[in-house]
Amino acid sequence: MTELSLRGLTKRFGAMTAVDDVSLDIPEGRFVCLLGPSGCGKTTLLRLIAGLEAPSSGAVLVAGRDQTDTPAHKRDFGMVFQSLALFPHLSVAENVAYPLAIRGVDRATRRNRAAELLQMVRLPDLGDRRIHQLSGGQRQRVAIARGLAINPRVFLLDEPLSALDANLREHMQMELRQLQQRLGVTTVVVTHDQKEALTMADILILMDGGRVQQVGAPMELYRDPANAFVAGFIGNTNLLRGHLRGREMAVAGTTLTLDDGDRIKAPDGPAILSVRPEDTRIAARGVPARVTFLRDLGESVQVVMDMDGTEVTALFAPRDRPDVSLGDSVHLAFEPGRRVVLPA
């Protein structure tokens, strides 16, 4: 069942359109990652969903009911802010129980629930501390516990892990994901870290310039990008300009014949061929190129080549290491079935 629906959601700040005509349907219990470069409108979209910002046009529906005009405090959502926004004047337990206190829940119930929530985020015994007595990771957990205190319909998080160091961050990603799966709460997390998005998401929403570029499972976006922006943003890719006619793609003076498995998403004419570095091969015949850089990364070998002015990267497993050296002229082949032709 669709829990959260956005219909043509648009937000303008003066002449600038921060969120542009976003329509989405998010099924109940899914973990959604909102991914995109800085300034693409992720935070604004999340604030529109939360009701902290009024849309210029469009609607927000929760379980089929229009909530566009429902004020933020009547939506029964949970949210974790980038700054965490924990209350310095309350103890950890009081912070966690704040939404319950606002709803008039009695003191004893509040205390039990706070203890339960702190147990859940693995912070028992810290209930009496002040916020400034906690480490960054502990604060993170308190904010998450507080956001989940009322069993929210929708749980929203804005770059919740961005302040943590890499190790803790990876750990918290897994923990957040497991917690969400256990509780089954529909969750939307904003991030600009694609690895984080790939780790956690059921559904990935990739935004750029206020618009949704593609929605789908992470692997879907990786394998089957809708456009060059998606291909370039999710993982590394080689984007080669060329010309498409039927199943023939001309790249740097060489014509490649596309296979059944290859995805053609552009009309005839100028187009972009997207191939992942691991699907790029050095072969006896193919597109001519010259080796400009070689490096051994341990788990893989990276070969960078110049193909008629375009930089192309190929990645090999150590045992497939090609016998080339700097300045060699080589020919490139692209794994059939893994090629994607995108609109230019």
By the criterion CB under 5 A, which residues form the site for Mg ion? 43
Binding site partner of 13, from Mg ion, ligand ATP, another protein, none, Cβ cut-off 5-8 A by kind = ligand ATP
Cβ 274 vs Cβ 228: under 8 Å: yes
Range 208-247, binding another protein (CB under 8 A): none
Binding ligand ATP (rule: CB under 6 A), the pick from 6, 40, 157, 239 is 40
Residue 73 interacting with another protein (CB under 8 A): yes
Instruction: Write the CA distances from 289 to 51, 139, 167, 232, 251, integer angstroms.
Output: 53, 52, 39, 21, 12
State which residue, 83 or 135, has the beta carbon closest to another protein. Answer: 83
Using DSSP bridges, classify how beta strands 340-343 and 65-66 pair: parallel, antiparallel or unpaired: unpaired
Give the Cα separation of 121 and 125 in Å (integer): 12
Q: What letters, b where the CB count within 10 A reaches 16 and e where it falls short, cover 41-66?
A: bbbbbbbbbbbebebeebebbbeeee
Q: Which is nearer to another protein, 71 or 337 (CB)?
A: 71
Q: Which is nearer to Mg ion, 39 or 318 (CB)?
A: 39
Q: Give the nearest distance from C-beta 222 to ligand ATP in angstroms.
A: 21
40 binds, among another protein, Mg ion, ligand ATP, none (CB under 5 to 8 A by kind): ligand ATP
Query: Interface with ligand ATP includes 43 (CB under 6 A)?
Result: yes
Among residues 339, 236, 341, 242, the alpha carbon closest in space to that of 297 is found at 236
Based on the shown chain and the rule CB under 6 A, indicate whether residue 42 belongs to the binding site for ligand ATP: yes
Report CA 136 to chain centroid distance, whole Å: 23
Is residue 139 close enough to count as binding ligand ATP by CB under 6 A? Answer: no
Regarding 303 and contact with another protein (CB under 8 A), the answer is no
Pairing status of strand 154-158 against strand 78-80:
parallel
Q: Is 38 in the site for ligand ATP (CB under 6 A)?
A: yes
Q: Which stretch binds another protein (CB under 8 A): 69-77, 182-190, 219-227, 329-337?
A: 69-77
Closest approach, Cβ 267 to Mg ion, in A, equals: 35
Residue 150 interacts with another protein (CB under 8 A)? Answer: yes
Decide: is 103 part of the binding site for another protein (CB under 8 A): yes
- Which is closer to another protein, CB of 81 or CB of 229? 81
Closest CB to ligand ATP among residues 60, 258: 60
Cα gap 65→63, rounded to integer Å: 6
Span from 82-90, 164-172, 237-245, 268-276 in contact with another protein (CB under 8 A): 82-90
44 forms part of the interface with ligand ATP (CB under 6 A): yes
Structure token digits, residue 224: 């089957």
Whole-Å CA distances, 233 to 5, 25, 126, 157, 310: 25, 23, 40, 21, 18
Q: Least CB distance from residue 18 to Mg ion, whole Å?
A: 10
Nearer to ligand ATP, 44 or 180 (CB): 44
54 counts as binding another protein under rule CB under 8 A: no
Judged by CB under 6 A, which of 192, 263, 276, 339 binds ligand ATP?
A: 192
**Binding site residues, ligand ATP, CB under 6 A:** 13, 16, 18, 36, 38-44, 192
> What residues make contact with another protein under the rule CB under 8 A?
50, 52, 71-79, 81-83, 85, 87-89, 98-99, 101-103, 130, 146, 149-150, 156
